[in-house]
Amino acid sequence: MPELDHRLSDVYNHRLDTITPSQIRSFSREIQDIPGLVSLNVGEPGFNTPEHVKQAAIDSIANNQSHYSPQNGWLELREAISNYLKNRYQMDYDPEAEVTVTDGATEALSSSFLATINPGDEVLIPMPGYPAYTSLVELAGGVPVGMDTSATEFKLTPKQLEETLATHPDAKELVLNYPTNPTGVSYTKEELEQLAKVVAKHGLLVVDDEIYGELTYDIEHFSFAKLLPENTILINGLSKSHAMTGYRLGYVAGPAAIVTDVNKVHGYLVTSPSNPAQYAAIEALNNGMEDPIPMRKAYRERRDLMTTELRKLGFGVVTPEGAFYIFAKIPAQFKENSREFALRLAREAKVGVTPGSAFGVAGEGYLRLSYAADLDQIEKALAQMKTFIENNQ
The pLDDT of residue 223: 98
Predicted pLDDT at 167? 98
Helix (H, G, I), strand (E, B) or coil at 75: helix
Phi-psi region of 355 (alpha: psi -120 to 50; beta: other; left: phi over 0): beta
Length of the chain, please?
393
**pTM for the full predicted model:** 0.95
Would the pLDDT of 49 be above 90? Answer: yes
Angstrom CA distances, 105 to 252, 266, 298, stand at: 8, 12, 24
Which one is predicted more confidently, 393 or 2? 2
Q: Is the confidence at residue 42, as pLDDT, over 90?
A: no
Coil vs helix vs strand at 28? helix
Q: Over the stretch 118-130, which tens digit does the pLDDT of each residue have?
A: 999 999 999 999 9
Q: Alpha carbon of 19 to those of 132, 137, 138, 175: distances in Å?
A: 10, 10, 8, 18
Q: Nearest-5° angle of CA 338, CA 343, CA 349?
A: 115
Q: Where are the alpha helices (DSSP H) in the chain?
A: 23-31, 51-62, 75-89, 105-116, 131-139, 158-167, 189-202, 256-270, 275-287, 292-312, 338-344, 375-390
109 has a pLDDT exceeding 90:
yes
Q: What is the pLDDT of residue 19?
A: 87
Query: Which strands, in side-by-side order, build the sheet including 250-253?
Result: 99-102, 250-253, 232-237, 205-209, 173-177, 122-127, 143-148
What percentage of the chain carries pLDDT values higher than 70? 100
Over the chain, what is the mean pLDDT? 96
Alpha-carbon Rg for the chain, nearest whole angstrom, is 21
pLDDT for the residue 22: 85
Give the tens place of pLDDT for each residue, 210-232.
999 999 998 999 999 999 999 99
pLDDT at 44 over 90: no
Residue 23 has pLDDT above 90, yes or no: no
Determine the average pLDDT of the residues in 62-85.
Answer: 98
Mean pLDDT of 132-144: 97
pLDDT at 378: 97
Contact at 8 Å (CB) between 178 and 187? yes
* pLDDT of 21 over the 90 cut: no
End-to-end CA distance of the chain: 52
pLDDT digits (tens, 9 = 90+) for 302-358: 999 999 999 999 999 999 999 999 999 999 999 999 999 999 999 999 999 999 999
